[in-house]
Structure 1
Amino acid sequence: MAACPITGETATRVQAVGTKLLRGLWRHSFGVTPSVLPERGEFTLWRAPCGLMFFDPPVEGDAAFYAALYEKLDAPALIRRAAPTRPEYLAAARHLRAGDAVLDVGAGPGAFASPGVRVTALDPHAAEGGGVLRETAADHAARLGEHYDAVTAFQVIEHVADPLALTRAMLACLKPGGLLMLGAPLWPSPMTAIPNFCLNAPPHHLSWWNEGATRALAAQAGLVVRDVALLPAAPGQPLIHWMGRLAPMKAPPDGPYFRADWRWHASLLAAYAAARILAPLRRIPPDAAPHFVLLVAQKPPR
């Protein structure tokens, strides 16, 4: 039995995933071997009544893992290139007003910006000298208190072991009446349909999100939901969309998502090879399935 990390309700078991399989997938897919994953053991993927999917135990990636992975992916440059057309950034910017002070948590290279808005980028794992504050949301709140008109976190909540604790730390930085905006990969989506895709697994993604899960998080944190938007893939990042579309064998919406099976490995490899060819040539179609969910919620005024 496992309890939802948001609501505490009893969750339903989806599948077990061996750490040997995950270590192999990380090594062969991205050339990294996460030291935080033991050589033997397993994770269990659970589905909560609110819709949240989560892994237990929730083992977070460490600084060494993310440094190695982001170097392989050239992640900072990729994020900067995609920023002008990134749907989460554009959707969040529509809720901001000129002169707003915004805190962007887990900001990576600090790519989020909006005209007339003052953005403070925060990331404890940021590179030195990049203009991003290297501290946690909790430490920042202890230093400044309720300082910001809006607090954002894009593709962050799914990486942490305790999403409710992170949300409360972000709220401690937010003025009463201010907006909290959280973006996460969507489940189910083309990304979760890719078989044996280790970006969806520990120590990278510890939870998968949908509208029900984001609304449950808002309710537990005492927030008033203003909008929940399902967003498409970024035009500048089409590879995952096409991998999900082109995989010969897809993971079903209710699982399993990982298997030590040569057909699943071959399907992952075929999806990647086909997407590498097609992604530079084809735009993401307008009717493509959404990839992300964005919660916009208000902290109640005093």
Structure 2
Amino acid sequence: MTVFSPINKSSDVTILTILKRSQIIEAWHQQFQIDITEEIGEQEEIYLYRCNQTNLMFFVPFDIAGSDKLYEQLEKYDWYYMPEKWEHNVALQDLENCQKVVEVGCGRGAFVERLCTKLKLDAQGIELNSNAVKYAQKKGIPVLKLDVHDFSIDMANYFDAVCSFQVLEHISDPYIFLESLIKLVKPGGNLIISVPNAESFLKRIENHLLDQPPHHMTRWSQKSFDSLTSIFPLRVKKFRIEPLATYHVDSYLSDQLFPMPKLILLEKITRRVSHHILKPILKNSSFLRNLIPGHTLYVCFEKLG
């Protein structure tokens, strides 16, 4: 079977990893107490490929992206919908001269609320998670349950800026999704996207369940975003990498210190050094954290034409 990249339809791809369906189902049950049997299809093996032309990594089969039901179960965890993110603050700079803004995949609408109340923008959000939409609407935040493809037909070339934070990686067909986002933006307007950084320290975490199907379907890098300018009418205006966040310090230190051979005495020593010396230093030094690439990539495109 020939596999094609979902972003440029190229067959110049390399297989990176093979995952077992049964192992993923069991891991989700143990870690999150969520049954994903119906989410992940019938194929016993799931493949991770890299497009050699764009550096985009993607999972096959394509039809195993999580449903609304999966996200409704994940939202019971407080960390899942963070009301304020690093990329929100970066985006505010790129929205200074905008008036009409939409956030696609806005969750509970925290950023939309911020745009409406603090910046007085004509902002709205669309979201597919029914519970998140109800939560936002109860707070009076202008969020509607709409599909972006249908929305883009009715609102083509309407918005000064379109934002989508931590959504693209969940989409099984990123080409259609990006095409819809771009359609919403006025020529000369901004398309703002953030995704997990495929080249951060998190990439070395084995069996990172939230970075594979049915949760994530693609993995992005700066090269992947740069390649979009040859596929769509876009120009990169700004590209940023989030510095290591304080709440990721523990994960970062574990990743850096504990892949070494499991010698019990050595592990005890490194854990003590990590906890008592390195952890406080990193958490209290924004200068040092700024030197370490963190979780999120941020890109602001200008729509051409």
User: For the superposition of Structure 1 and Structure 2, which TM-score range results when normalised by the shorter chain?
Assistant: 0.7 to 0.9
> Could you say which structure has the higher helix fraction?
2
Q: Bigger radius of gyration, 1 or 2?
A: 2
User: How many angstroms does 1:144 deviate by?
Assistant: 2.4
> Which secondary structure state, in structure 2, belongs to the residue aligned with residue 109 of structure 1?
coil
What CA distance in whole angstroms lies between the structure 1 residues aligned with 2:204 and 2:299? 23
Give the aligned partner of residue 74 of structure 2.
Answer: 69
Pair 1:47-2:62 in alignment: no
Query: Are the aligned partners of 2:245 and 2:294 in contact in 1 as well (CA < 8 Å)?
Result: no
Query: Are the aligned partners of 1:184 and 1:209 in contact in 2 as well (CA < 8 Å)?
Result: yes
What CA distance in whole angstroms lies between the structure 2 residues aligned with 1:55 and 1:20? 16
User: How many angstroms does 1:291 deviate by?
Assistant: 1.8
User: How many angstroms does 1:101 deviate by?
Assistant: 1.1
Distance 1:147 1:188, change over 3 A: same
User: How many angstroms does 1:244 deviate by?
Assistant: 3.8
What CA distance in whole angstroms lies between the structure 2 residues aligned with 1:188 and 1:23? 26
Deviation digits for residues 249-282 of structure 1 (CA, Å, limit 9, x no counterpart):
559xxxxxxxxxxxxxxx9xxx9xx99xx69x93
Give the aligned partner of residue 282 of structure 1.
Answer: 283
**Aligned residue among 128, 132, 142 for 2:134:** 128
Pair 1:14-2:20 in alignment: no
Q: Which amino acid aligns with 1:48?
A: C
**Aligned residue among 25, 38, 49 for 2:27:** 25
Deviation digits for residues 57-103 of structure 1 (CA, Å, limit 9, x no counterpart):
12110111111112134533xx11xx1xx221121111112552111
- Normalised TM-score (structure 1): 0.81
Query: Are the aligned partners of 2:58 and 2:217 in contact in 1 as well (CA < 8 Å)?
Result: yes
User: How many angstroms does 1:299 deviate by?
Assistant: 0.9
Give the aligned partner of residue 184 of structure 2.
Answer: 173
User: How many angstroms does 1:234 deviate by?
Assistant: 4.5
Distance 1:233 1:67, change over 3 A: farther
**Aligned residue among 180, 193, 197 for 2:208:** 197
> Which secondary structure state, in structure 2, belongs to the residue aligned with residue 4 of structure 1?
coil
**Aligned residue among 94, 105, 122 for 1:118:** 122
Give the aligned partner of residue 140 of structure 2.
Answer: none
Determine what percentage of the aligned residue pairs are the same residue. 24
User: How many angstroms does 1:171 deviate by?
Assistant: 1.4
Q: Which amino acid aligns with 1:242?
A: D
**Aligned residue among 210, 232, 240 for 1:229:** 240
Pair 1:291-2:290 in alignment: no
Instruction: Extract structure 1 runs of 4+ deviating beyond 4 A.
Output: 248-251
What CA distance in whole angstroms lies between the structure 1 residues aligned with 2:79 and 2:304? 39
Query: Are the aligned partners of 1:148 and 1:174 in contact in 2 as well (CA < 8 Å)?
Result: yes
What CA distance in whole angstroms lies between the structure 2 residues aligned with 1:17 and 1:99? 44
Deviation digits for residues 109-142 of structure 1 (CA, Å, limit 9, x no counterpart):
1122342433211112133252321101112122
User: How many angstroms does 1:224 deviate by?
Assistant: 1.5
User: How many angstroms does 1:17 deviate by?
Assistant: 0.3
What CA distance in whole angstroms lies between the structure 2 residues aligned with 1:136 and 1:288? 36
Query: Are the aligned partners of 1:226 and 1:298 in contact in 2 as well (CA < 8 Å)?
Result: yes
Distance 1:6 1:39, change over 3 A: closer
Give the aligned partner of residue 100 of structure 2.
Answer: 101
What CA distance in whole angstroms lies between the structure 2 residues aligned with 1:218 and 1:229? 17
User: How many angstroms does 1:185 deviate by?
Assistant: 0.3
User: How many angstroms does 1:39 deviate by?
Assistant: 6.4
> Which secondary structure state, in structure 1, belongs to the residue aligned with residue 110 of structure 2?
coil
- Normalised TM-score (structure 2): 0.80
User: How many angstroms does 1:209 deviate by?
Assistant: 0.5
> Which secondary structure state, in structure 1, belongs to the residue aligned with residue 25 of structure 2?
helix
Gaps of 5+ in 2: 138-142, 261-266
What CA distance in whole angstroms lies between the structure 1 residues aligned with 2:103 and 2:74? 22
User: How many angstroms does 1:13 deviate by?
Assistant: 0.6
**Aligned residue among 219, 233, 256 for 1:208:** 219
> Which secondary structure state, in structure 1, belongs to the residue aligned with residue 108 of structure 2?
coil
Query: Are the aligned partners of 2:98 and 2:160 in contact in 1 as well (CA < 8 Å)?
Result: no
